[in-house]
Structure 1
Amino acid sequence: MVGVSIQATIMIKTSILFVFLTVLQLVNANTKPSVFLKQDLIKNYALLVEEVNQLQRATLVEKIDWEALTQVFFDSRNAYKNVELLVAFLDPEFINDYINGAPLLKIERKTDDMTILNPKGFQIAEEVLFEKNLPEFKLLVEQLQARIIEFGNRLPSLYLSERIVFEAMRTQVIRITALGITGFDSPSGFNSLVENNITLKNLEKTASAYYGFLNENEQVKLKTIFKQGHSFFEVKEMDAFNRYQFIKQFLNPIYGIILQVQKELFIETKTMVVKSGYAVNYETENIFDTDFFNADYFANYANSGIEEKKIALGKTLFYDPIISKNNKRACASCHHPEKGFTDGLKTSVAFNEIGHIDRNSPTLINAIFSTRFFWDNRAGSPEAQAEHVIFNPKELNTNYNEILGKLNSNSTYKKLFQEAYPEIKEINRQTTLSSLSAFIQSLKSFNSVFDQSIKGKIPVPKDVEAGFNLFTGKAACATCHFIPTFSGLVPPLYVETESEVLGVPAYNDINKAILDQDLGRYGNGRPKEKADFYKNSFKTATIRNIELTAPYMHNGVFNTLEEVVEFYNIGGGHGWGIAPENTTLPSDELNLNATEIKQLIIFMQSLTDTTGMTAVPTTLPTYKDDLLKDRKIGGVY
């Protein structure tokens, strides 16, 4: 026993010495991996500048060889992909706006007026290149060249630390998962396999800068997982690329391993600096973890109170029609738990059963993971969303004076609020909103059959894997319904919520097709968004729990998933002959066959998960008042 103790002591001392030497090495500026990586980045960025210069010169030749020009363009794209990991992290806004953002019109973020930004960068240039529009392509390349040179001039002064390198690596893993292998940032798809392979090689090269600070077992672990990742690129085209297995066997594991290495090297993580200032919870080790997102980032409600008590109180309020003017209508009136917190109607019944609300009731599961709310993106927080519903004459049709008066007159509610907010003496607007938001925030769904299988907890059904590969590949669904929410929450930072113009019909009859006249985001009441390109634009809803949330689209026009898939399969509004000029959906048909459509739907159905969310309260706080004593749990209608 004594020998064992001595041996253990020696091992502990050896470990402490190793940690000390590792930290000492990292502190030494001459051996910092970040210093080497910065130098390497500047060198490779110079190669990018040269490639783009060659591209610009190639547009000036007297007779254009489009095949040769395309190759020069892809050489430039490849050079960008070789530096993307760090440059996209160092200045994500600049890269998104000018170098490699989506080919869509945008509103300038930093002005008070409505300034529209035309798309710039590689993605829009690729679209124009394949249209063979030489004048427009020349202009885009000149703009791209100027911006790349501009960023290159700033690059030497940009700060790079070990912490930034590790955060950039993990962000790049998310980018590969949600944007790279799905084809989002490669509009034509012709160069996608090459680009993703380059991105992977650059990720490995960046990680290898830290191999010298790891023991042999850790080095072998990293080298083995990267070898596993490279094996997926032995296919000849992206259509044959198994995205599901690539995520399961490489991307998810490497995402966790990079964090483990960061901690083993005693490199601080961002959560040591700011706990809740980011959309992604940096401490998670899997992109499909239940806690991958930091829910507090998306909510505005106060941190005061006891969370479990707030959730329980919020649930009671959610099912209590006391928060409506006539005491007959609750939040649950339009959000039934057994229907994925929707109501199964094309558009919900309006207040006092007079007509209908203008749009389909969206799910509340994972609703918190968004930076915009409602189909038209008008609300900027779940609290603002709740207030729109409270005040809307067609919905709850009430105000805080009425709600608070009823709540404060009830001893049970007073007790529940006091237990949830011990430091606050009376029920008020903020505690009411905070409680409702806490309950909605608790409706998180990341434990479906698909989630469990891609995390390796259960075997994956064959059709689920095939359907996911279609969703992220041939069907191109994941270019709008982003991993892992499968909604319009945009990766890799998840701080923006997209809306799309699809050309949705007013009626489900292709022979009498008429574009739905709802202007969507254009009419959401935000002056800066009253832009023509937002006409008929609607929030990209989540695919999670879609099996439960029929009918579909903002107007509930499609009754089944088969109808939805067929709409996209023939090119959306283009196929129906009703697509407006500002449609963001490509006109291409998907050419999915019957088997592929079936597999795609099976995958979407595998995203169903309402575990622990569907239990309804059995009682509500009682009143003696004749108008309040017979309230129905969940509302009358």
Structure 2
Amino acid sequence: MKKTSILLGLISICFLVLSGKKTAILDPIDTVPEKVAAVYNANFRTFQKEVELLAVLANNSTPSNIVQLKRQVEKTRLVYKEVEFIFDYYQTTYSGTYINGAPLPRVSEYFEAGDIIAPCGLQALDEADFEEATTENLQHITELANGLKDRVDFISKVHLPIHLKSSQIIECIRSGLVRIFTLGLTGYDTPGSVNGLKESYVSLNSMKTTFLYFETGISPAAKYKFETITKLFDKGIKNLGANTDFNDFDRLAFLKEVVNPLYAALLEFQKANNIKLEPFKKHAQNYNATNIFDINFLETDFYSELVYLPLDNPETIKLGRLLFEDTQLSAGNKLACISCHNPDKAFTDGLPKSKSNKEGFFTARNSPSIINAGFSTRYFWDMREIDLERQVVHVIDDSLEFNTNFNAIVSKLNKSPNYVRLFNEAFGGISKQDINERSISNAIAAYVNSLKSLNSPFDKYVRNETNEYPENAKRGFNLFMGKGACGSCHFAPMFNGTIPPFYLESESEVLGITEGFDAVDPKLDTDLGRMKNGLSVDKHPYFKNSFKTVSVRNIALTAPYMHNGLFGTLEDVLEFYNLGGGAGMGLEVENQTLSDSPLDLSKQEIQDVIAFMETLTDTSGFTALKN
């Protein structure tokens, strides 16, 4: 009977082969997720044990054993780096909130019901570990270690055993590359130890080990790509393990020679090996992109899912541009959007604070560029709005801006046969009235969303579309992403505050901005920023004097700088950061997120950073829009 069952089984397998159907037994690729999951589960358990050991050491810590405690923090972090690229992909929000998020208080819509969550996790430990070993700080480290243990123990119960798919493993690796480049090599992940190169080495090596499982059952068409990827991993691991000083590491070469080629080759391998695209969940990162600086690397559609109509409609974009330039949208026909967002000045107005609709008065803040505005989850300097459509309402209502209401605007526009026709063509049939608050806001949002600038000299160079790039700008990029710590707040590729690798949340920062640039007798600017934006979720002392981190793309065209237009030149901006912000200048700045330690940038290094930022200029597409 047993022999008969075996024979029937073999016949069934042969039938499936002949019929073209696949089974897990016959398709080695299907075993890859199981093998990777087994290794990952074991590595995560190892991480859990290291966290437990860390908690034990912390609970018995004294100034005399601080060296041992530091070593354990480092070891725990390195073990975490072996699993982070997978863990962060599947547990993004939990990871960023509790395991390895920035060492700052935060508000999460997912946890703690909107209450402030104190700094916690591995970054907070890395920072605390390098502060003075006082009784108070040791107690803080103990609390952090115990909190981390509780959270790792909790998440392990719901996270393990993990179940993977081949496509998602590749996406974990690709997003892990983005994390290494934007958060590891910038020092963002290691605020105390500055151990970013060593941690990136461990991460990249773990990614390579994971990828090698695809060698079993590889299709002939994918074999060459597999070999290419293996060599690129080896090159990157060698670069990271070369004992280079953090400030001296050539991040630009690493981007061009390792990160971007790997990011592209992994996608090509995925296609050649017939592994379909199946993201675990929706991210702003577009996994069809071939380059971190690809024009389509991030999708603005991700940030505008609940709009009236999709913002990529050519008809609404064209209509939105007309509205953007039309003074009828303001009381007395005095202002238009273009009044404060002039295309010739990268959609700014060149003033410290914008002109209002009242003679002799100015608005409360500087007019930021709206180029690439769509790549964000929060809008305005104080981050009071969550999408481009609703942003329009604030401008319409503001007594110093348009100072009117939508009823008045609708009445004006309905008197124009051209507008009636255009709104009907774009929005006809959606509601009883084609011209209404939502359709007006949607059209303007569509136009603003279309203002994308991703073809700067820098972009073309790192995409290998040109070989020409200034040497001082090369040095400047490496300073921006390394010693200068600019890239730890202005994240690549948009160089704004939207956090990689999944770009799900936009940050604000407390810089200690002053009323005037007076290093001898500085006075803190009185604008309370995000804390007073009217949102209950942001009404916390932590957000006092906190403002949105805007993009530095096209920054050469957008002076003056900061929310109050304080700095007229980029040299002044860099000097302010070089001093350590307001706190570095001697002011008491609550919760300053910018380090108060001097950057020690020389005058030449400041000029190099500026040279790099100037290569981020690109307004070519806006000329085309005018034609």
Instruction: State the TM-score, normalizing by the size of structure 1.
Output: 0.89
Letter in 2 for 1:253: P
Separation in 2 of the partners of 1:593 and 1:536?
28
After superposing the two structures, state which structure 1 stretch, 341-350 or 107-116, moved more: 107-116
Superposition deviation, residue 615 in structure 1: 6.2
| 139 and 463 in structure 1: CA distance in 2 versus 1, 3 angstrom threshold | same
Structure 1 residue aligned with 2:106: 106
Residue 186 of structure 1 deviates from its aligned partner by 0.7
Contact 1:464/1:606 (8 A) holds in 2: yes
Could you list the runs of 5+ residues in structure 1 that have no partner in the other structure?
Answer: 1-16, 619-637
* Counterparts of 1:107 and 1:190, CA distance in 2: 26
Q: Does 1:294 align with 2:302?
A: no
Post-superposition shift, 1:617? Answer: 5.7
Counterpart secondary structure, 1:64: helix
Amino acid at match of 1:369: F
Where 1:511 maps in the other structure, the secondary structure is coil
Alignment of 1:73 with 2:73, yes or no, is yes
1:80-104 deviations in Å (ceiling 9; x for gaps): 1011111112211222222111101
Aligned CA distance change for structure 1 residues 181 and 214 (closer, same or farther; 3 Å): farther
CA deviation vs aligned residue, 1:278-302 (integer Å, no higher than 9, x gap): 3222211111111111111212423
Cα distance between partner residues in 2 of 1:333 and 1:361:
10
Please say which of residues 302-311 and 197-206 is displaced more in the overlay.
Answer: 302-311
1:534 aligns with 2:543: yes
Identify the match of residue 506 of structure 1 among 515, 520, 523. Answer: 515
- Write the letter of the residue equivalent to 1:611: S
Q: Which residue of 2 aligns with 1:463?
A: 472
Corresponding residue for 1:197?
201
Q: Counterpart in 2 of 1:389?
A: 395
Give the aligned partner of residue 332 of structure 1.
338
Deviates more, 1:557-566 or 1:432-441: 432-441
Q: Which residue of 1 aligns with 2:415?
A: 409
CA distance 1:313–1:393, shift in 2 (3 Å): same
Distance 1:526 1:35 in 2: 46
User: AA paired with 1:86?
Assistant: I
Q: Which residue of structure 2 lines up, in the alignment, with residue 223 of structure 1? A: 230
Alignment pair present for 1:379 and 2:377 = no
C-alpha separation between the residues in 2 aligned to 1:38 and 1:134?
36
Q: Deviations over 1:32-75 (max 9, x none)?
A: 11100111011112221232233233332566333332222211
Q: Is the 8 A contact 1:335 1:363 kept in 2?
A: yes
- Show CA shifts across 1:406-449 (max 9, x none): 11111111222233335457322222111111110110011101
- Aligned amino acid, residue 109 of structure 1: E
Runs of 4+ in 1 over 6 A off after TM superposition: none
Seen in structure 2, the aligned counterparts of structure 1 residues 63 and 389 have a Cα distance that, compared at 3 Å, is closer
- Match for 1:242: what amino acid? D
**1:48 maps to 2:52:** no
Percent identity of equivalent pairs: 37
> What residue number does 2:453 align with?
445
User: Could you say which residue in structure 2 is the equivalent of 1:142?
Assistant: 146
2:560 is the counterpart of 1:551:
yes
Deviations 1:497-553 (A, max 9, x none): 101111000112223311000000000000121101111000011110110000000
Query: Is 1:207 aligned with 2:211?
Result: yes
Q: Would the aligned equivalents of 1:242 and 1:469 in 2 still touch at CA under 8 Å?
A: yes
Secondary structure in 2 aligned to 1:32? helix
Within the candidate set 228, 239, 254, 1:232 is matched to: 239
**Which residue pairs with 2:284 in the alignment?**
279
- Among 344, 352, 358, which residue is 1:346 paired with? 352
In structure 2, the CA distance between the partners of 1:218 and 1:77, relative to structure 1 (3 Å rule), is: same
1:585-600 alignment, distance < 5 Å: 585-600=594-609
The change in CA–CA distance for 1:519 and 1:214 in structure 2 (over 3 A counts) is same
Deviation at 1:24, TM superposition (A): 5.1
Kept after mapping to 1: 8 A contact 2:311/2:449: no
Q: Tell me how far apart the structure 2 counterparts of residues 570 and 68 of structure 1 sit (CA, whole Å).
A: 34
Q: 1:112 to 1:394 in 2, by over 3 A?
A: farther
**Structure 1 counterpart SS, 2:188:** coil
Q: CA deviation at 1:264?
A: 2.4
C-alpha distance 115-415 of structure 1, shift in aligned 2 (>3 A): same
Letter in 1 for 2:416: N
| 8 A contact 1:304–1:421 mirrored in 2 | no
Q: Name the SS of the counterpart of 2:622 in structure 1.
A: coil
Render the CA deviation track for 1:157-200: whole Å, top value 9, x for unaligned: 43322232122112111111211111111112442221110001
Shift of 1:31: 5.2
Q: Which residue of 2 aligns with 1:435?
A: 443
1:359 aligns with 2:365: yes
Partner of 1:525: 534
Name the structure 2 match of 1:604: 613
Task: Confirm or deny that 1:584 pairs with 2:593.
Answer: yes
Cα deviation digits, residues 370-419 of structure 1 (max 9, x gap): 10000000011111111100111110111111111111111111222233
Secondary structure at the aligned position of 1:465 is classed as helix
Distance 1:292 1:570 in 2: 35
Distance 1:427 1:30, change over 3 A: closer
Classify 1:26/1:446 alpha carbon distance in 2 versus 1 (closer, same or farther; 3 Å).
Answer: farther
For residues 558-577 of structure 1, the aligned pairs below 5 Å read: 558-577=567-586
RMSD: 2.3
Write the distance in 2 (CA, Å) between the matches of 1:207 and 1:550.
46
How far 1:109 moved relative to its partner? 1.5
| Corresponding residue to 1:261 among 244, 250, 269 | 269
Kindly state the Cα deviation for residue 29 of structure 1 after the two structures are TM-superposed. 8.3
1:185 corresponds in structure 2 to 189
**1:63/1:565 CA distance change after superposition, 3 Å:** closer
Distance in 1 separating the partners of 2:75 and 2:568: 46
Partner of 1:454: 462
Distance across 2 between alignment mates of 1:228 and 1:338: 44
Indicate the SS of the match to 1:352: coil
CA contact (8 A) 1:368 1:441 kept: yes
* Secondary structure of residue in 2 paired with 1:538: strand
Letter of the structure 2 residue corresponding to residue 36 of structure 1: K
Pair 426,108 (structure 1): closer, same or farther in 2 beyond 3 Å: closer
Shift of 1:315: 0.8
Ranges in structure 2 where 5+ consecutive residues have no aligned partner: 1-16
Deviation, 1:130, is 0.9
Once the two structures are superposed, the pairs formed by residues 1-16 of structure 1 within 5 Å of their partners are none
Q: Distance in 1 between matches of 2:464 and 2:317?
A: 31
Residues 396, 405 of structure 2: 8 Å contact kept: yes
For 1:211 and 1:337, locate their aligned partners in 2 and report how far apart those are by CA, in whole Å: 52
